[in-house]
Amino acid sequence: MSTENKYAVIGAGPSGLAGARNLDLAGIEFDGFESHDDVGGLWDIDNPHSTVYESAHLISSKSTTAFTEFPMADSVADYPSHVELAAYFRDYADAHDLRKKFSFGTTVVDVTPTGSIWTVTTRSRDGETTSAAYRGVIIANGTLSKPNMPTFPGEFSGELLHTSEYRSAEIFRGKRVLVIGAGNSGCDIAVDAVHYADSVDLSVRRGYYFVPKYLFGRPSDTLNQGKPLPPWIKQRLDTLVLKQFTGDPVRFGFPAPDYKIYESHPVVNSLILHHVGHGDVRVRADIDGFDGDSVHFVDGSVSDYDLVLCATGYHLDYPFIARKHLDWAGAAPDLFLNVASRRHDTLFVLGMVEASGLGWQGRFEQAEMVAKLIKARTDAPAAAREFDAAAAGPPPDLSGGYRYLTLGRMAYYVNKDAYRAEIKRHIALLDSALTKDAVLTKGGQ
């Protein structure tokens, strides 16, 4: 088949596999491209673009994270390691025969529209470039690829790294370590460092809510399942529960949060407060600047370090396509439901969404909506036009009633219940139209 009748899928991580699976189910032809030589994306630690480290595990439990159609085995831990997750994605690809749809060791270097066709240029491992025309493009290369490396006044004479460069806690052996940033990765790595470093400090700019991985003997994210509680009730109830389990982190030196729980992503970690409480990790203020091996903090204190590791997150990065095609606004593209371009009706992004508890099933539903929309453009055009009208109108409220912090890293954050409900609503509308069309077509034969 000519590539002009196909879609190009970029990436074979969780979102790319979800896209491939749903396109395959819908009978839509596509070619997939993956720069690594296997599926799994960042969860394959052997992938040169992976940002996971040896101790990395899910911060959500397997039952709330896995694809619904492909549950993780009972033998898999509640919070799987990257090793188990890499195997899970390989098994998923094999179970649905998805590998044959991807060209591995192939990097997409340019995506450019020409009329209604997209020219996709790729580069092989040996440097050979190839261009082909495609009907549409689905971008699914993930959100954790371009490190957000801050700059500070002065110069640090020791090792200065970003978490994207971190793999093994051996780098901390015998060193005075400072971790900048107390998000999930920062706290995980500080806990790693405790067992190797001479000292571990954690620089914190704002307050956090710390959620243990287990509450009442169960993975904490498996509680309160079902119909969501109103935000004000859930925030009050869960804040009370956390105080009973973790106490007040302020007494350990953490700043008090200036926001309510769930207005930013909580830190899911059962060990960081344990180690702070035991004196293994010392909480420090925000950074004021560097001077040789000395770090100055905004509270006026100064300490010396051998290694500073910045757990400061990532920027969205789709380097192969001009930002205008994604209607990039601020820290993230402005896409309908974080998925569909309003400028090009054959351009989509999968996985550009963050929400506590969304899991990979939430990404799968994104892909299901996209596949049904592509199908509707030819088989049920009236339904596709209704989707386009919704995309052109006022954006739906995906906050679920929560007042999220206005930070760059929250630019594509949503409430999982509000988001999934809206995605499922569009899936149902498209599915109904496609089913009706199939019945009419069969009746006319």
pLDDT value at residue 439: 59
437 has pLDDT over 80: no
- How many angstroms separate the CA atoms of 12 and 327, rounded? 24
pLDDT value at residue 106: 98
Mean pLDDT value across residues 390-405: 95
2 has pLDDT over 90: no
3-state secondary structure at position 207: coil
- The per-type count for the chain, helices as H runs and strands as E runs, is 9, 24
pLDDT value at residue 224: 76
- How many angstroms separate the CA atoms of 420 and 364, rounded? 10
Q: What's the token pair of residue 216? A: 């009442």
Count Cβ atoms below 10 Å from residue 205 Cβ, excluding itself.
13
pLDDT value at residue 38: 97
Q: pLDDT tens digits, residue range 112-157?
A: 999 899 999 999 999 999 999 999 999 999 998 899 999 999 999 9
State CA 101 to chain mean position distance: 23
- How many angstroms separate the CA atoms of 245 and 144, rounded? 31
Count Cβ atoms below 10 Å from residue 127 Cβ, excluding itself.
6
Closest CA to 387 of 438, 441, 433, 440: 433
Tell me the average pLDDT of the chain: 95
More confident residue, 330 or 423: 423
pLDDT value at residue 46: 95
Closest CA to 122 of 26, 3, 27: 3
3-state secondary structure at position 361: helix
Q: Is 11 left (phi over 0), alpha (psi -120 to 50) or beta?
A: left
- How many angstroms separate the CA atoms of 34 and 38, rounded? 8
pLDDT value at residue 1: 55
- How many angstroms separate the CA atoms of 163 and 146, rounded? 11
Q: Could you please report the per-residue DSSP string of 258-323?
A: SS-TTSSPPEE-SSHHHHHHTTSEEEE--EEEEEBTEEEETTS-EEE-SEEEE---EE---TTB-G
Q: pLDDT tens digits, residue range 180-218?
A: 999 999 999 999 999 999 999 999 999 999 999 999 999
Mean pLDDT value across residues 16-38: 98
pLDDT value at residue 442: 57
Name residue 173's beta-bridge partners: none
- How many angstroms separate the CA atoms of 4 and 346, rounded? 12
Contact predicate 334/391, CB 8 Å: no
Mean pLDDT value across residues 270-275: 96
Phi, psi (degrees; rounded to nearest 5) at 421: -65, -40
Contacting residues for 252 by C-beta, under 8 A, at least 6 apart? 273, 276, 277, 283
Q: pLDDT tens digits, residue range 407-426?
A: 888 999 999 999 999 999 99
Q: pLDDT tens digits, residue range 35-83?
A: 999 999 999 999 999 999 999 999 999 999 999 999 999 999 999 999 9
341 has pLDDT over 80: yes
Closest CA to 108 of 80, 129, 134: 129
- Measured over the CA atoms of residue 286, residue 291, residue 294 and residue 299, the dihedral's sign is negative
- How many angstroms separate the CA atoms of 140 and 9, rounded? 7
443 has pLDDT over 60: no
- Percentage of residues in the chain having pLDDT higher than 70: 98
Residue 35 burial by CB count (10 A; 0-12/13-18/19+): exposed, middle or buried? buried
- How many angstroms separate the CA atoms of 86 and 20, rounded? 17
pLDDT value at residue 436: 83
Q: What's the token pair of residue 281? A: 């990790």
Question: Confidence band (pLDDT; 50, 70, 90) for 291?
Answer: very high
3-state secondary structure at position 88: helix
Q: pLDDT tens digits, residue range 163-174?
A: 999 999 999 999
Burial 310-343 (b: 16+ CB within 10 A, else e): bbbbbebebebbeeebbebeeebbbbbbbbbbee
Mean pLDDT value across residues 20-29: 97
Q: pLDDT tens digits, residue range 319-329?
A: 999 999 999 98
